[in-house]
Amino acid sequence: MKKKISDAGIFEFAPLVILRTPLLPYSEWKSNTQKLLHRPEFRTALQTASPSLYEELIKKDFCFEQLSEKARNSVVKYHNRVCFRPTPFGIMAGFSVLKWETSPLSVSSFNDCKVHLLPDFGELAAIFNSCSVARPPSFCYANPTIYKAGNEYRFITGRKEQEQCKTNFRVDSIACSDWLHSLLVLCLRPTDIHELAFSLSKILDQQLDYALDILMQLLYVQVLLPEGLPNITGRDYSILLNRDSLAISNNMHNGKYSIPKFNNLYNGFQNKTVYLNMERPVLKGGLSQEVKMDIIDGLKVGRLLIPCRELPSLEKFRKRFLEKFDRRSMPLMEALDPEFGIGYGDLLQIPADSVLTNGVKWNGQSSSEQTLFWSETVKFLINKLCSGNRIIKLEEADIAILEEEAKDKNGIGSDAPGISVLFRRCNDGKTYIESAGGVSSMNLIGRFTPFNEEIGHQAMLLAEMESSHNPEVIFAEIVHFSDSHVANIERRNAIRDYEIPILTGSGVDSGHRIAVNDLFVAVRGNEIFLWSKQLKKRIIPRLDSAYNHSISDLPVFRFLCDIQGQGLRSAYSFHLKDIFPGLKHYPRIEYNNTVLSLEEWHIGKGEWKDLVQMSKDAIRNWIEKKGLPRLFAITGADRQIVIDSSQDKDLGVLSGIYKNKIPAVTILREFPFAGPPAEKNIKDTSGNYYINQFIAQLYNRQETYRPLDGGILEETTSTLPKRTNYPQDGWLYYKIYCHEGSANNIIGNYIFPLSTELENADIISKWFFIRYNDNGFHIRLRFLVKEGQLQEVMEKCHAVFAELESAGTVSQIQTVPYERELERYGKNIINAETFFHIDSRLAACYLHYCQRNWDQPEYYALVFQSINVLTDKMGLGLKEKAVFHEKSYESLRAELQQHTEIYRELQPVFRKFRNVMTLLHHSLDGNKIVKDEFRRFQASLESFDFNKEISDLFSILPSLVHMQLNRILVCDFRRQEMIVHYIMWKHYISLFHRTKDHTE
Contacts of 861 (CB under 8 A, 6+ apart): 916, 919, 920, 923
**Crossing angle of helices 40-49/69-84, nearest 10°?**
110
What pLDDT shows up at residue 297?
Answer: 95
The proportion of the chain whose per-residue pLDDT surpasses 70, expressed as a percent, equals 85
pLDDT reading at 509 higher than 80? yes
pLDDT higher than threshold 80 for residue 260:
no
Closest C-alpha among 490, 603, 499, 468 to residue 232: 490
685 vs 954, higher pLDDT: 685
SS3 565: helix
CB–CB of 416/440 below 8 Å? yes
Q: Which residues contact 68 (CB under 8 A, 6 or more apart)?
A: 56
> Are the C-beta atoms of 800 and 754 separated by less than 8 Å?
yes
Amino acid at 965: L
- Spatial CB neighbours of 406, under 8 Å, sequence gap ≥ 6: 303, 304, 377
pLDDT tens-digit map of 784-822:
999 999 999 999 999 999 999 998 889 999 999 998 888
909 in Cβ contact with 981 (< 8 Å): no
Cα 283 off chain centre by = 41
Q: Is residue 297 within a helix (H) or strand (E), and if so which, with residue range?
A: helix 290-305
pLDDT, position 920: 46
CA distance 535 to 529: 14
Q: How far is CA 670 from the centre of its chain?
A: 32
**Separation between Cα atoms, residue 611 and residue 605, nearest integer Å:** 10
What phi and psi values does residue 962 have, to the nearest 5 degrees? -55, -45
CA atoms within 13 A on the CB side of 890: 10
pLDDT value at 926 more than 60: no
For 429, other C-beta atoms within 10 Å of its C-beta total 15
> Mind listing the pLDDT tens digit for each residue in 127-160?
777 776 657 888 999 999 999 988 899 999 998 7
Tell me phi and psi for residue 90, to 5 degrees.
60, -130
359-406: per-residue pLDDT in tens? 676 665 443 333 334 456 667 777 777 777 899 999 999 888 888 776
- 677 vs 66, residue with greater confidence: 66
Read off the pLDDT of residues 874-922 as tens digits, 9 standing for 90 and up: 888 889 999 999 999 988 888 787 877 788 888 888 888 877 766 544 5
SS3 945: coil
Q: Is 687 helix (H, G, I), strand (E, B) or coil?
A: coil
Describe the strand order of the beta sheet including 682-684 as a list of residue ranges.
282-284, 106-107, 682-684, 689-690
How would residue 78 be classed by pLDDT, with cut points 50, 70 and 90?
Answer: very high
351 has a pLDDT exceeding 50: no
State how far Cα 305 lies from the chain centre.
Answer: 21
Q: H or E element: which one contains 4?
A: none
CA of residue 463 relative to chain centroid, distance: 20
CA dist 503 and 478 (Å) reads: 11
CA–CA distance, 211 with 193 (Å, rounded to integer):
10
Who contacts 973 (Cβ-Cβ below 8 Å, separation ≥6)?
351, 771, 965, 966
Q: What angle do CA 852, 857, 859 make, to 5 degrees?
A: 30
